[in-house]
Chains A and B, each alone.
Chain A
Amino acid sequence: AQRVTQPEKLLSVFKGAPVELKCNYSYSGSPELFWYVQYSRQRLQLLLRHISRESIKGFTADLNKGETSFHLKKPFAQEEDSAMYYCAPPGQGNLIFGKGTKLSVKP
């Protein structure tokens, strides 16, 4: 069964510091991984997908098949980045969400 692990429940950094949100997955097929974000009082939304190789709001994520990881990175965190972040590989017609990491960016 596909699984995803986000080892940190809470990550707290200061504004301007680099941030890395970890995600490890086990997936039997060719993985297509996503990062979703949920800002306070907003709906869950797609942040980025590995297949597009784009940078959204300064965030990037590289799929490392050898380490089965899909860590989310940003070189300089901003206060508005504070949110819940979920790593999600697809399952059978659904997303398999990790438990999420709460990112808190302090001024």
Chain B
Amino acid sequence: KAGVTQTPRYLIKTRGQQVTLSCSPISGHRSVSWYQQTPGQGLQFLFEYFSETQRNKGNFPGRFSGRQFSNSRSEMNVSTLELGDSALYLCASNPQESYNEQFFGPGTRLTVL
């Protein structure tokens, strides 16, 4: 099976803009989670989607949002970008309803200037 894919791999934006990141999970996986990785804060959970519904959410402002499509592909959106949003955004997929091993994508490196 192909692994989790994320597009784009690199992105440069300026403050105030918005951005959309995409994630395609492993075929058959219905759960998709998003994480933000920064040197200072490490890996922080953003949200998780299962069968097109947001099932869990981390402590991020409302500027961060996401959605999942019927084919399990997911997108996350960040509006009104701030310098502090510069990070590696990781997507992970999980095959089962309940928690299990998560399979991570390569990430999207977002730089906000």
Contact, CB under 8 Å: B101 / A100: no
In residues 43-68 of chain B, which contact A (Cβ within 8 Å)? 43-45, 48, 50, 55-56, 58
In residues 20-78 of chain A, which contact B (Cβ within 8 Å)? 32, 34, 43-46, 49
**What secondary structure prevails in chain A residues at the interface with B?**
loop
Within the complex, the shortest CB–CB distance from B21 to chain A, in Å, comes to: 15
- A-B contacts, 18 listed (Cβ < 8 Å): A43-B106, A44-B43, A44-B104, A86-B42, A86-B43, A91-B45, A93-B31, A93-B50, A93-B55, A93-B99, A94-B35, A95-B35, A95-B43, A95-B45, A97-B35, A97-B44, A97-B45, A98-B42
Residues in chain A near residue B58, CB distance under 8 A: 94
Contact, CB under 8 Å: B43 / A100: yes
Contact, CB under 8 Å: B42 / A34: no
Residues in chain A near residue B45, CB distance under 8 A: 91, 94-97
- Chain A residue nearest to B97 (CB atoms) is A93
**What secondary structure prevails in chain B residues at the interface with A?**
strand
Question: Which size bracket describes the interface of A in this complex?
Answer: 10 to 19
Question: Which size bracket describes the interface of B in this complex?
Answer: 20 to 34
How distant is the Cα of A98 from the Cα of B43 in the complex, in angstroms? 8
Number of A-B contacts (CB under 8 A): 52
Interface residues of B (CB under 8 A from A): 3, 31, 33, 35, 41-45, 48, 50, 55-56, 58, 90, 92, 99, 101-102, 104-107
- Chain B residue nearest to A95 (CB atoms) is B102
- Chain B residue nearest to A45 (CB atoms) is B104
Within the complex, the shortest CB–CB distance from B63 to chain A, in Å, comes to: 19
Contact, CB under 8 Å: A94 / B42: no
- Chain A residue nearest to B101 (CB atoms) is A46
- Chain A residue nearest to B54 (CB atoms) is A93
